Amino acid sequence: MRERNKARVATVWLDGCSGCHMSIFDMDDRLLELKDRIELVYSPLVDAKDYPKDVDVALVEGCIGNEEQRKFAHTMRASTKTFVSLGDCAVTSNIVAYRNPFKMHDVIHRAFIENSEGEIVLPQEDVPPLLPFAVPIHEIIDVDVYIPGCPPSADLIHYTLVELLEGRHPDIKNRFG
């Protein structure tokens, strides 16, 4: 059911540390003001299993590191009006890219064999296969707005959201890191 006069907003957590979501929380009382203007239709904070249709704004944290996330990115793009890469992981792949200079085999060996105790089981099912590189989202799909920062400040996220709700394209000046 679509709530009237409210923008449908999704927040998404891909390959990241959730720090950007913490920054969203840091908007504090401004979240209460926003709740009259937005409907949170998908998020790690709400109980929605599938990405809904007709999302107005998606704030996406984290980069794309596995096959599931890669497919999900296309799903999101198809149902999202304004796609926002939120934070350095989404924009540059940041710390997640630390694994990229290593071969995928070495990464998996390190995680599941060298560092495991007891029975060694390599993931075969239930765990989505890793991509050779963890890449920024815009290498997979088109992105409309970039918010660099690790994490971006609550002020910057608030500014971006309000600009988008007002139908303007936010002018974002923020350094990486």
Partner 1 sequence: MRREPRVKTLRIDDCDCAGREDQTVLDVARENNIRIPTLCQINGLTNVGSCRMCLVEVKGVPKLLTACTTMVWEGMKVVTNSERLHEYRKMILELFFAERNHICAICVANRSCELQALALELGVDHIRYPYLYQALEIDSTHDKFVLDHNRCILCTRCIRACSEIEGANTLGMMRRGVNDKVITDLNQPWGESRTCTSCGKCVNVCPVGAIYEKGLSRTESRREHTFLPYLTIMRGER
Contacts for 17 with CB less than 8 Å, ≥ 6 apart: 89, 95
Residue 11 binds partner 1, judged by CB under 8 A: no
Instruction: Single out the segment in contact with partner 1 by CB under 8 A; choices: 33-41, 107-115, 134-142, 159-167.
Output: 134-142
Q: Does residue 83 bind partner 1 (CB under 8 A)?
A: no
Parallel/antiparallel/unpaired status of strands 130-135 and 64-66? antiparallel
Given candidates 30, 37, 138, 162, which one binds partner 1 under the rule CB under 8 A? 138
Which residues on adjacent β-strands are paired with residue 142? none
Query: Measured from the CB atom, is 68 or 144 closer to partner 1?
Result: 144
Q: Does 143 bind partner 1 (CB under 8 A)?
A: yes
Using CB under 8 A as the binding rule, whether residue 159 contacts partner 1 is answered as no
Q: In 116-177, where does DSSP find H-type helix?
A: 154-165
E strand or H helix at 66:
strand 64-66
Q: Is the distance from CB of 148 to CB of 91 less than 8 angstroms?
A: yes
Decide: is 148 part of the binding site for partner 1 (CB under 8 A). yes
Is 130 among the residues that bind partner 1 (CB under 8 A)? no
C-alpha span between 156 and 143 (Å, rounded)? 18
CA torsion through residues 102, 142, 169, 160, sign: negative
Q: Report if residue 88 touches partner 1, rule: CB under 8 A.
A: yes
If binding is defined by CB under 8 A, does position 57 make contact with partner 1? no
Of 7-15, 65-73, 120-128, 137-145, the segment contacting partner 1 by CB under 8 A is 137-145
Give SS3 for 64.
Answer: strand
Which of 58, 85, 86, 140: binder of partner 1 (CB under 8 A)? 85
Structure tokens at 143: 């992105």
The residues binding partner 1 (CB under 8 A) are 85, 88, 91-95, 97-98, 100-102, 133, 135-136, 138-139, 143, 146-148, 150, 172-177
